[in-house]
């Protein structure tokens, strides 16, 4: 009966350690994914920032094609879309739900080029000199973009990045403390076994070895569970938001999963070794406190 109770207690302690490791490694892995994708997400948001070039009504098709090709070849443009005045009228009619051309008797809209910037140029300073450069072109009548929106997006991206970095550091400290305490509690239940082995002449390395090996196994099991949870979260997230699939880098994820396993092993190894070392140094009388 005593052997069964002890066996159950050991299994329960091991399960608690593995669950704690897996949850902490899952949170760290999830945070790492967010951090690694922060740049991609911010770039994606910035590249959705664009501006509209309104062309003069007398602009020739050849000149418009030349301007479009020049924009496509420039360093700051990701993509362009030329919209004729007829296409602009059709889009506006669809938005308004009525035929305003019949009402006015003519099409007041002008041809335009929608331009999406590369992330590095999606800021107020770059847009200012791009606007000035384009207005010097005779074809261009006006350049339209929301200056306040550009500034707001850049400010929010910087704030979010700082918040994520601060939260990452705090979570890392909490995670290490939690795992360390969980492993210490697991070793605490075996403190009498450690002291008994020491009293019969076993060396410290001999006593420490099985605990460290078991800790490494727990780290691997915990990391495996954490990786499965991360894969589940990514799968569910991509089902809800298919656009997220474009942000994922398979090589980056494989590297991250490898780091989760290594981190699980290292944390378990160090925490177990330190915990065993503590009880090896305790006197027999102190084991009861």
Q: 50-55 and 77-83: which strand pairing? A: unpaired
The residues near 201 (Cβ < 8 Å, ≥ 6 apart) are: none
* pLDDT of 125 higher than 60: yes
* pLDDT of 34 higher than 70: yes
pLDDT-derived band at 243 (thresholds 50, 70, 90) equals low
> Looking at residue 208, what is its pLDDT?
77
Q: How far is CA 113 from the centre of its chain?
A: 34
Distance CA 67, CA 29 (A): 47
Choice among 106-120, 234-248, 272-286 with the minimum mean pLDDT: 272-286
> Looking at residue 45, what is its pLDDT?
72
What is the average per-residue pLDDT within 134-160? Answer: 76
* pLDDT of 175 higher than 60: yes
Choice among 164-168, 206-210, 231-235 with the minimum mean pLDDT: 164-168
> Looking at residue 133, what is its pLDDT?
85
pLDDT-derived band at 227 (thresholds 50, 70, 90) equals very high
The residues near 117 (Cβ < 8 Å, ≥ 6 apart) are: 46, 47, 49, 50, 51, 76, 77, 78, 126, 127
Q: Which domains does the chain have, with CATH numbers?
A: 2-44+168-288 (no CATH), 50-144 (3.30.70.3040)
Residue in this structure with the two tokens 């010097």, named with its chain if needed: 136
Helices (H), the chain: 2-47, 61-73, 85-96, 100-104, 124-135, 147-188, 191-199, 204-240, 250-281
Distance CA 190, CA 244 (A): 47
Strand ranges of the sheet holding 112-117, from the earlier edge strand across to the other edge: 77-83, 112-117, 50-55, 140-144
pLDDT-derived band at 35 (thresholds 50, 70, 90) equals confident
pLDDT-derived band at 5 (thresholds 50, 70, 90) equals very low
Per-residue pLDDT reduced to its tens digit, 50-85: 788 888 888 788 888 888 888 888 888 888 888 888
Indicate the pTM of the whole model. Answer: 0.58
> Looking at residue 68, what is its pLDDT?
86
Q: Across the strands, what pairs with 51?
A: 115
* pLDDT of 28 higher than 70: yes
Q: Are 197 and 237 in contact (CB under 8 A)?
A: no
């Amino acid at each position: 009966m005593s052997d069964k109770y002890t066996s159950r207690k050991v299994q329960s302690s091991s399960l608690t350690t593995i669950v704690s490791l897996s949850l902490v490694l899952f949170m760290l892995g999830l945070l790492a994914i967010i951090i690694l994708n922060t740049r991609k997400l911010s770039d994606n948001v910035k590249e959705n920032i664009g501006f509209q070039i309104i062309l003069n009504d007398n602009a020739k098709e050849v000149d418009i094609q030349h301007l479009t090709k020049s924009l496509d070849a420039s360093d700051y443009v990701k993509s362009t879309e030329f919209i004729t005045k007829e296409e602009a009228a059709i889009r506006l009619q669809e938005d308004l739900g009525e035929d305003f051309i019949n009402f006015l008797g003519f099409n007041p809209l002008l041809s335009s080029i929608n331009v999406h910037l590369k992330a590095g140029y999606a800021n107020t300073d770059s847009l200012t000199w791009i606007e000035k450069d384009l207005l010097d072109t005779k074809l261009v009548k006006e350049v339209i973009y929301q200056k306040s929106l550009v500034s707001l997006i850049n400010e929010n991206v910087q704030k979010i990045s700082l918040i994520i970095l601060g939260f990452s550091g705090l979570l890392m400290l909490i995670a290490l403390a939690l795992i360390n305490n969980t492993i210490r509690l697991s070793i605490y239940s075996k403190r009498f076994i450690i002291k008994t082995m020491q009293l019969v002449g076993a060396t410290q390395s001999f006593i420490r070895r099985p605990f460290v090996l078991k800790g490494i196994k727990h780290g691997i099991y915990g990391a495996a569970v954490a990786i499965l949870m991360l894969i589940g979260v990514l799968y569910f997230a991509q089902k809800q938001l298919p656009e997220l699939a474009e942000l994922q880098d398979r090589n980056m994820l494989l590297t991250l999963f490898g780091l989760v396993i290594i981190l699980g092993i290292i944390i378990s190894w160090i925490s177990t070794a330190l915990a065993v070392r503590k009880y090896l140094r305790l006197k027999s009388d102190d084991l009861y406190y």
